[in-house]
Structure formats: C-alpha cells, structure tokens
Amino acid sequence: MKALKIIKPSSISEAYEVLHSQKKASLIAGGLFMRLQKKTFPLLIDLEPLNLNYIKPIKDGYIIGAMTPLRGLEQGTVPNALKTAVKQISGVGVRNMATVGGSICGKYPFSDINSALLALDAYLVFYNKGKMSMRDFYKKGLDDKDILVEIYIKKPKDSVTKYYKKVYTDFSLVNVAYADDDFVIGARPGKAIVVEQVTELTPDNILKGISFKDDYRASGEYRKALATALIEDIIKERGTYGS
C-alpha cells in the first residue's frame, strides 16, 4: 500500500466532510488489509484520533466504539459470542491493530466476528445515516459513503461462536454463531446466512437450504460436515454459556 496523503481529522464531522468533498478519499481504521494491497491511495482519512475506542456496558446491553481493537473485545465486557469469535483471529499483535469497525465495513465473508455480530442482531450507528441493523447493512449496504461510529448490542441470554481452523490463527473453514435461538452460518465460504428463531434444534433443520462451496482450502461437503458438528456441539452445550 502507498498513500499520497493522510489526514488525521480532529472530529467526526471533519472526517465526514473530507470523505465527501474528496472523491477518492478512503477511510482507514486498522488498515490491515489495506496494507496488503499493491495499490496507491490518493487520500486516506485516519480515524484513530477520533476517540472511538471504547466499550460501555449499559443497562440492557453494550455500546462499542467502531475503533475498538479486536483485542479490546477479547479482554472487555462483551457477550460470549464476541469473545469466542476473536480469540483465534491471527496473533495478539494483529488483534491489537484490527478494529471491529473495519471488520464490519469490510463485510469479509470469512469473518468470525461478523457472524457473531449478526447472531447478536447488533445495531450500527453511522454519523449521517444514524441507526441501522447489522443484518440490513450486511444485505443492502449503504446508499452513500458514511462513517461507522459505534455498535449497539442488546445483552443476550446465551451466545457463543464456534469455528474450525486447520491451524491456529488461520481463517476459519466454517463458523457458526448462536445467540438466543438465532444461528448464523459463515465462511461457507460465501456470505454469512442468518437463521432466525429456530424452534426445532437439529443440524438438518438449521442448515436446510444453506449451500456450502468448494474452494482451494476445502470442499463444500467437508464444510457442511464441519458446520453440522459445530451446531451439534452448540445444541449439546446450550444453557451452559453465560452471556
């Protein structure tokens, strides 16, 4: 990655103004995937100075700043689904740099944390658009460029994320997130799918109609078998997880 110019705004309003006044401006949060690109960015807006790194427990849930690093989620007071989702995302150094907002806005189909947030039915708060459900954002995206400010999560009764990786810190071959009878199947390797309010808790019922694809890392058949095993584990263990 090469940046011709980097701006460090003093406020979100300033960052938003620059984002819209400069056609080729891009936001940088953790910026880890940007750094891997062989690309020149004319203008980057660094969100680090905007004090969006926080986790605030409230009466019915949690408010998380968009610049909170994944390591902060791992060590902070958040639902179990988020804690278990980030534990094996690369090494500690990466988790100290990668941010929850970067993970959300990247919409990475392999993301364990996005599956967890979808299962938790998180709500996103953007500077201009305001409040939007994570599920709507994942499906439809935004009509215009905006800045994610924070994430609201209602405290679940029960939640967890499970995944399978060939090697610790590798990307998951498949992941399954669960919160209050909602399941999310991700890293299929396509976009994560939400299965809401499951009443008959069997793998066949939960995975009905969900396809798994082949790629160079694993076959779709193998991924489906892994997802089945992960769901079986969640069903057996449900009720033992704290929120």
> Domains of the chain, with CATH numbers?
2-46 (3.30.43), 53-154 (3.30.465.10), 159-237 (3.30.390.50)
AA identity, residue 196: E
pLDDT in tens, 192-232: 999 998 878 899 999 999 999 999 999 999 999 999 999 99
Nearest alpha carbon to residue 189 among 135, 114, 109, 105? 109
Mean pLDDT of 67-91: 92
pLDDT at 157: 92
Going by the DSSP 8-state scheme, the letter that residue 39 receives in this structure is -
How many whole angstroms separate alpha carbon 125 and alpha carbon 152?
8
Q: What is the mean pLDDT of the chain?
A: 90
Mean pLDDT of 147-166: 95
pLDDT at 25: 87
For residue 32, what pLDDT band results from cuts at 50, 70 and 90? low
pLDDT in tens, 10-25: 999 999 999 998 888 8
pLDDT in tens, 88-120: 888 887 887 889 999 999 888 889 999 999 999
Angle at 241 between CA 238 and CA 243, to 5 degrees: 120
193 versus 26: the higher-pLDDT residue is 193
Q: How many helices (H) and strands (E) does the chain have?
A: 10, 14
Nearest alpha carbon to residue 172 among 86, 101, 105? 86
pLDDT at 80: 95
Q: Would you say 153 and 79 are in contact if contact means Cβ atoms under 8 Å apart?
A: yes
Lowest mean pLDDT among 3-17, 59-73, 115-129, 210-224: 3-17
Q: Is residue 241 scored above 50 in pLDDT?
A: no
pLDDT at 58: 94
The percent of residues in the chain predicted with pLDDT above 90, rounded, is 72
Q: Is residue 156 scored above 70 in pLDDT?
A: yes
